[in-house]
Homo-oligomer: A and B are copies of this chain.
């Protein structure tokens, strides 16, 4: 990307791994983002194709456009249809003790993809990145990575198909060789264009993009994919991670590697409204997986931005503005029953249902979700974490 384009983008909206801000404090324009980034819209025929190929209903996040953009996902499906498998790669920067609902989205979706396509999965925990960006100690970053791994495992991944690794433990050998190969192909100016680095950024930040790039290449995992250099990689992630993989796709052919394919989500909105991502510095902007049922009830009732009218009379007359209503947005992510969601949207939009009633329904959905997660996470032992992180062949790769 040329410098001029970056400047132009800054006047509009900025989306990169460290900053998500809409134009004039408004909503992210995802159509425009697709144009800016040069990715493709995930359209209905592609979703129908997933349905047909996997013989199961597409995930709610597909049906409702949470994952809305892609790069070469059609090629992954072409190959799959021919009988060629692929592998999944996703990850997380372990910067906080407990995850919020937005953090769970890529993992819930990745679990669905793993189950539907029966493919192996690598999950990268970038403890090195967070150590550098958040100025955490190495030890604290490693501790957070292991805590986060428990939340990830609680999403239900299959240990026989899943390898979870922390950079501080795993960087080296074939992985490091690929880091060097990638770094050779990216000039500082190019990195500035993609990531917006400045001269006052430390060189650790500038060194990091290859670390997130190389899990896209099977040769980075000799214990998993030895002799499978042509295996393709599909990356489910939030679209703010796209710059890493634009860079990766740019260099891949020069290294003789396949470009990774991507399937990209929009951002989960803050309770206060849809103007970007949630803020870790404000615990009342998000529902955490550690929140109690009382916390959830309180946060939604007090903070969830309502599209309802000021008075019951006006509400009955004009109905709710669903476009800005956070309870409706959240139900769109987590209420699986399409018919019920449609019913609520109709009744609420027409003013026959009140904000309080919609919030009640959301509180029940999220309390159940969080309670299920809490129970699953409590069952994750240290031995299970060790098992997912063991450097080993995966016994059940492609069946």
Contact = CB atoms under 8 A, between A and B. Distances in A.
A200 B192 CA distance: 11
Contacts of A173: 169, 172
A183 to B, nearest CB: 3
A168 B180 CA distance: 9
Contact of A206 (B135, B167, B188, B198): B188
B187 A132 contact: no
Say what secondary structure dominates the interface of chain A. Answer: helix
Interface in A198-222: 198-204, 206-207, 209-210
A257 interface: no
Contacts of A176: 128, 167-168, 171-172, 176
Contact of A187 (B135, B180, B189, B202): B202
A49 interface: no
A184 B168 CA distance: 15
A96 to B, nearest CB: 19
Given A171-B172, A173-B172, A203 B180 contact: no
A377 interface: no
B197 A188 contact: yes
A249 interface: no
B203 A186 contact: yes
A206 B204 contact: no
A181 interface: yes
A372 interface: no
Nearest to A141: B180
B172 A201 contact: no
A235 interface: no
A81 to B, nearest CB: 35
A173 B184 CA distance: 23
A170 B173 CA distance: 7
A356 to B, nearest CB: 49
A240 to B, nearest CB: 20
Nearest to A201: B188
* Max chain B C-beta neighbours (<10 A), residue from A173, A200, A207: A207
A51 interface: no
A177 interface: yes
A172 B202 CA distance: 20
Interface in A154-174: 167-173
Given A172-B171, A172-B176, A176-B168, A132 B183 contact: yes
Interface in A260-279: none
8 contacts: A138-B177, A138-B180, A170-B172, A171-B171, A172-B173, A185-B202, A187-B202, A189-B199
Given A132-B183, A172-B173, A186-B202, 5 more contacts: A167-B176, A183-B203, A188-B206, A192-B199, A204-B210
